[in-house]
Chains A and B, each alone.
Chain A
Amino acid sequence: DIVMTQSPDSLAVSLGERATINCKSSQSVLYSSNNKNYLAWYQQKPGQPPKLLIYWASTRESGVPDRFSGSGSGTDFTLTISSLQAEDVAVYYCQQYYSTPLFTFGPGTKVDIK
């Protein structure tokens, strides 16, 4: 099984400032045949299902604001919110889907306003 970890568990950032969340997988999720990382990021607000933000580690889903960006490769990944807005308060999860149809999520990172 591929185990996902995230850091920090939570963070508080001032409005307009940068928020950075890290995600690490226990083995590489880079598929060598197409050079793509099978890593996604989700945003979950209270009472709602998760929403897909980024797939292939760095490709934004349609309609996702460009202040959200993903980076990394292999086993280490980062989600960055370049300028935090009030509506970005949520829990963020990374997910590996390298082993599709099996997949695993990270434990989540809670983002709040400072």
Chain B
Amino acid sequence: NAGVTQTPKFQVLKTGQSMTLQCAQDMNHNSMYWYRQDPGMGLRLIYYSASEGTTDKGEVPNGYNVSRLNKREFSLRLESAAPSQTSVYFCASSPLLSRRTDTQYFGPGTRLTVL
């Protein structure tokens, strides 16, 4: 039982390049989330998927797209990377359909640098 896994662990991009961050969970959770964590800013929600087949914007969605590929996998795509997207990205999942009582389980993070 690996929990939440993320790939890659580290990535360096040039401005304008695209890439996809992968996330998978093996806990049969319904909801999945993408956050970014920046110094002095805390964790900020980018996108979430309350259940398979649905996605919604969070606090900071601009410049990102997501795909809930199936119940296990939720990917985050940067179409044209910008230096402002340099951050640590965390994927999380939670077991309940309703986010009202969520306890979220986090992956180890992807450290992205955009030059």
Q: Do A and B come from one complex?
A: no
Chain B interface residues toward A at CB < 8 A: none
